[in-house]
């Protein structure tokens, strides 16, 4: 027997969410009503992986926009802090939450690059949806490191990835592959950059990880396991966009193959080579 219910939202709220992403024009995948399949996926991942009911969760929604994920989680009883560097869409989400009595959903203007555990505390679940690919290096690494500190259990990322290995970027002695993408022209003034709601807040370029490098950086900052979501299905999802769930757990130690313990991934790879430690 399911405990799921459908909450009744007013027409203004439904129209707000039906317009989500349409500012980018007809070429933006999953804009407008098609966002529904993404919201369903994120809520299902939260329910399945957070291990506790929504009403017991504290959730952080980074780059919340009009706050559809924050409001959906708030309707289920979660305490939600929704952050965005811009207020144009966020103000509409805050008004929607207020009209529906969602005092458990708080909207705050803040740049994701300034969000740390010291400034906002810790959260059971962190949503990092449609934002990661707007950050440039080295900010993208620092932000992911900070997100690990913010997250007690589950991080959900939905992001564009690079299908090519155009450049190499180093951080803390590790190399990550991807591509640099143009967000704004170098000469664009600050007010123009901030007005482009579906681009970065100020940086002219962004860095997109390859799939493998995204998984590697999540491991390197401390998450113990990472999963790519394929179900619930998302019709219309772009080929270069993925949803991953990263869990912060306790690293296991293996008794049956003790050689694998206390080694980095590079050390394990080296040990598995012919003549390596694993074969001795």
Q: Residue 25 CB: number of other CB atoms within 10 A?
A: 9
For all residues of the chain together, what is the average pLDDT? Answer: 95
* Token couple for 280: 């001795």
Written as one string, the DSSP assignment of 58-77 is EEEEET-TT-HHHHHHHHTT
pLDDT tens-digit series, residues 250-266: 999 999 999 999 999 99
Domain definitions of the chain by residue range: 11-249, 254-280
- pLDDT of the residue at 197: 87
pLDDT score recorded for residue 205 = 97
Residue 1 has pLDDT above 60, yes or no: no
Phi then psi for residue 39, to 5 deg, are -60, -40
Q: 145: pLDDT confidence band, cut at 50, 70 and 90?
A: very high
- pLDDT tier, 131 (very low <50, low <70, confident <90, very high otherwise): very high
Higher pLDDT, 280 or 151: 151
Residue 21 has pLDDT above 90, yes or no: no
278 half-sphere exposure, CB direction, 13 A CA radius: 13
Distance of CA 159 to the CA centre of its chain: 7
pLDDT, tens digit, 9 for 90 and up, residues 159-191 = 999 999 999 999 999 999 999 999 999 999 999
Classify domain 11-249 by CATH number.
Answer: 3.40.50.150
Sign, CA dihedral 146-147-149-150, equals: positive
pLDDT in tens, 190-221: 999 999 988 999 999 999 999 999 999 999 99
pLDDT at 129: 97
């Amino acid at each position: 027997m399911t405990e799921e219910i459908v909450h009744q939202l007013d027409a203004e709220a439904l129209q707000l969410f039906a317009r989500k992403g349409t500012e980018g024009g007809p070429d933006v995948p999953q804009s407008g009503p098609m966002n529904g399949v993404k919201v369903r996926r994120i809520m299902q991942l939260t329910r399945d992986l957070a291990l506790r009911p929504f009403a017991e969760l504290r959730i952080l929604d980074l780059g919340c926009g009009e706050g559809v994920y924050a409001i959906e989680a708030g309707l289920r009883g979660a305490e939600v802090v929704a952050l965005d560097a811009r207020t144009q869409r966020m103000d509409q989400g805050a008004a929607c939450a207020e009209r529906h009595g969602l005092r458990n959903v708080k909207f705050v203007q803040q740049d994701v690059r300034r969000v740390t555990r010291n400034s906002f505390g810790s959260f059971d679940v962190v949503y990092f949806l449609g934002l990661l690919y707007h950050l440039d290096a080295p900010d993208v690494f620092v932000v992911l490191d900070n997100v690990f500190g913010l997250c007690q259990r589950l991080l959900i990322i939905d992001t564009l990835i690079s299908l090519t290995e155009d450049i190499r970027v180093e951080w803390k002695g590790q190399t990550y592959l991807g591509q640099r993408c143009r967000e704004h022209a170098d000469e664009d003034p600050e007010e123009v950059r901030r007005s482009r709601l579906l681009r970065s807040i100020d940086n002219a370029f962004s860095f997109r990880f390859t799939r493998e490098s995204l998984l590697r950086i999540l491991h390197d900052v401390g998450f113990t396991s990472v999963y790519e979501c394929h179900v619930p299905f998302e019709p219309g999802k772009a080929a270069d966009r993925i949803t991953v769930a990263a869990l912060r757990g306790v690293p296991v130690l293996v008794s049956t193959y003790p050689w694998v313990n206390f080694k980095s991934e590079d050390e394990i790879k080296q040990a598995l080579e012919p003549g390596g430690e694993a074969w001795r």
